[in-house]
């Protein structure tokens, strides 16, 4: 599996390398010649679209990795906003409830093919759950590094899969890189958010959306693909997908890639607004969309380049807008975590910026269900069994 730097083009066959000497992340090399020149006839899992990426991919086997992806594309008329026709990709339907299962599936399958038995990750959210679950299903050892101050309910959600849980003191952003290094030395494969195997797996979200659109009546891609951005790994995968499909001649008009951050912690959106091509780390404040609050995103520059290269944008939305969007998702019958609700909240700024217009079509990627995100004050009524017949008086 040759790895190549998206920015300087340097290549390496070192299977353990995740960063280029220039500092930017590597991704698996896509070979348009190796990719099919037609869309798959059926999509039951991510493995049906993965060949479109043209990378050297593992076999999924018949265990948990085979179950990742294959989520539907839902037409959500109640969410249509300002003349934009919307579709939603509910990634909460993955085995552990988030899009992270795609990258994990690729990583676990590739590790198993190499006879590796030890994986790890640096996460306190969806990715931690996903990697711990994938490792448990495959009987692999798993180490999850979490921040020392992790909330109890988050810890419990990860712990149920039985990984080795390590609370880490110090700069959590720095830990991302330290863990990759330590794992490389010790033979533990860290499936961190922008590791090449993970990004290849995450690319299947966009591949699926575009394959699903290709099978609709007019066969055209949506005008925009909107997804939350945190580390930039998923955004990078979407860009890799669009690039490979374009090279294979399958996209006449590629979608604009639009990424959304929470305003309280929006280093990529701020760099985009300034017109920069480098992301500068921010201090970062608290937001209800905590799972995308990454103050120093390891693939931030690549996400920024993806938005620019596709005439897309990176925008930021505040917590009240995210809350309102979450309520609208619920009104459309979809359970999504606040990070996913940002995609709907982004429509207004995207229209204001002229990225989206009346008559456009957009696909929102609802990245996760967010099982643990309750806690709001709930108003209820109460009834005694003897008085049930009076409920609807």
Q: Using the minimum distance from each CB to Zn ion, give the nearer residue, 3 or 154.
A: 3
Strand, helix or coil for residue 337: coil
Question: Least Å distance between CB 25 and Zn ion?
Answer: 9
Cα 65 from Cα 204, distance rounded (Å): 13
> Residue 117: how many CB atoms within 10 A of its CB?
15
Q: Using the minimum distance from each CB to Zn ion, give the nearer residue, 10 or 281.
A: 10
Question: Least Å distance between CB 10 and Zn ion?
Answer: 5
End-to-end CA distance of the chain: 68
Question: Least Å distance between CB 302 and Zn ion?
Answer: 11
Q: Which stretch binds Zn ion (CB under 5 A): 3-11, 109-117, 232-240, 322-330?
A: 3-11
Main-chain dihedrals φ then ψ at residue 223, nearest 5 degrees: -70, -30
Q: Using the minimum distance from each CB to Zn ion, give the nearer residue, 24 or 373.
A: 24
Question: Least Å distance between CB 298 and Zn ion?
Answer: 14
Q: Using the minimum distance from each CB to Zn ion, give the nearer residue, 19 or 198.
A: 19
Q: Using the minimum distance from each CB to Zn ion, give the nearer residue, 22 or 387.
A: 22
Beta strand spans in the chain (E): 3-5, 11-12, 26-28, 74-75, 85-90, 118-122, 141-147, 164-168, 189-190, 224-228, 256-262, 313-317, 361-366
**Binding of Zn ion by 293 (CB under 5 A):** no
Calculate the dihedral angle through the C-alpha atoms of 215, 245, 355, 85, rounding to the nearest 10 degrees.
Answer: 10
Q: Which stretch binds Zn ion (CB under 5 A): 18-26, 58-66, 148-156, 252-260?
A: 18-26
Q: Using the minimum distance from each CB to Zn ion, give the nearer residue, 3 or 102.
A: 3
Q: Which of 3, 5, 163, 243 binds Zn ion (CB under 5 A)?
A: 5
Cα 44 from Cα 42, distance rounded (Å): 6
Q: Which residue has the tokens 């008086």?
A: 393
> Residue 314: how many CB atoms within 10 A of its CB?
28
Q: Which of 3, 18, 20, 207 binds Zn ion (CB under 5 A)?
A: 20
**Binding of Zn ion by 10 (CB under 5 A):** yes
Tell me the per-residue interface mask from 24 to 53 with Zn ion, x by CB under 5 A, - otherwise. Answer: x-----------------------------
**Binding of Zn ion by 8 (CB under 5 A):** yes
Within residues 103-162, the interface with Zn ion by CB under 5 A covers: none
Tokens of residue 255, six digits: 């979608």
CA distances, 363 to each of 22, 46, 101, 263, 347 (Å): 34, 17, 20, 22, 11
Question: Least Å distance between CB 144 and Zn ion?
Answer: 29
* CB proximity list for 384: less than 8 A, separation 6 or greater: none
Question: Least Å distance between CB 207 and Zn ion?
Answer: 25
Q: Which stretch binds Zn ion (CB under 5 A): 17-25, 30-38, 41-49, 88-96?
A: 17-25
Q: Which stretch binds Zn ion (CB under 5 A): 2-10, 98-106, 125-133, 338-346?
A: 2-10
Number of residues interacting with Zn ion: please give it, by CB under 5 A.
7
Closest CA to 130 of 74, 91, 172: 91
The answer to whether 151 touches 161, Cβ cutoff 8 Å, is: no
Question: Least Å distance between CB 23 and Zn ion?
Answer: 7
Residue 63 burial (10 A CB sphere; 0-12, 13-18, 19+): middle
Q: Which stretch binds Zn ion (CB under 5 A): 21-29, 130-138, 191-199, 307-315?
A: 21-29
**Binding of Zn ion by 11 (CB under 5 A):** no
Question: Least Å distance between CB 326 and Zn ion?
Answer: 38
How big is the chain by its Cα radius of gyration, in Å? 20
**Binding of Zn ion by 22 (CB under 5 A):** yes
Contact residues for Zn ion (CB under 5 A)? 5, 7-8, 10, 20, 22, 24
């Amino acid at each position: 599996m040759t790895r190549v730097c998206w920015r300087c083009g340097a290549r390496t066959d070192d299977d353990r390398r995740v960063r280029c000497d220039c500092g930017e992340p590597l991704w698996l090399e896509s070979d348009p010649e190796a990719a099919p020149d037609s869309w798959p006839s059926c999509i039951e899992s991510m493995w049906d679209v993965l060949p479109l990426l043209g990378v050297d991919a593992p076999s999924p086997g018949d265990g948990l990795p085979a179950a990742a992806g294959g989520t539907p594309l839902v037409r959500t008329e109640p969410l249509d906003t300002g003349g934009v026709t919307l579709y939603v990709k509910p990634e909460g339907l993955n085995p552990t409830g988030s899009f992270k299962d795609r990258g994990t599936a690729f990583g676990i399958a590739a590790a198993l093919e190499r006879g590796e038995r030890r994986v790890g990750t640096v996460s306190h959210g969806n990715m931690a759950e996903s990697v711990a679950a994938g490792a448990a299903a495959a009987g692999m050892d798993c180490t999850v590094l979490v921040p020392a101050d992790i909330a109890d309910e988050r810890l419990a959600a990860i712990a149920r899969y039985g990984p080795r849980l390590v609370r880490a003191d110090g700069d959590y952003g720095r830990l991302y890189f330290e863990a990759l290094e330590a794992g490389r030395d010790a033979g533990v494969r860290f499936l961190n958010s922008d590791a090449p195997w993970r990004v290849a797996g995450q690319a299947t979200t966009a591949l699926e959306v575009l394959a699903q659109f290709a099978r609709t009546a007019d066969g055209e891609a949506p005008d925009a693909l909107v997804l939350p951005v945190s580390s930039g790994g998923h955004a990078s995968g979407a860009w890799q997908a669009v690039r490979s499909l374009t090279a294979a001649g399958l996209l006449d008009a590629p979608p604009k890639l639009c990424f959304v951050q929470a305003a309280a912690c929006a280093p990529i959106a701020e760099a985009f607004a300034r017109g920069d091509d480098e992301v500068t780390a921010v201090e970062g404040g608290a937001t209800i969309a905590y799972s995308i609050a990454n103050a120093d995103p390891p693939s931030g520059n690549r996400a920024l380049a993806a938005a620019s290269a596709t005439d897309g944008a990176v925008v930021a939305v505040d917590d009240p807008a995210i809350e309102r969007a979450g309520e609208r998702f619920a009104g459309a019958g979809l359970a999504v975590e606040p990070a996913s609700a940002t995609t709907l909240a982004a429509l207004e700024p995207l229209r204001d910026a002229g990225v989206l217009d009346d008559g456009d079509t957009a696909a929102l990627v609802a990245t996760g269900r967010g099982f643990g995100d309750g806690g709001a004050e709930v108003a209820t009524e109460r009834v005694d069994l003897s008085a049930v017949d009076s409920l609807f008086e």
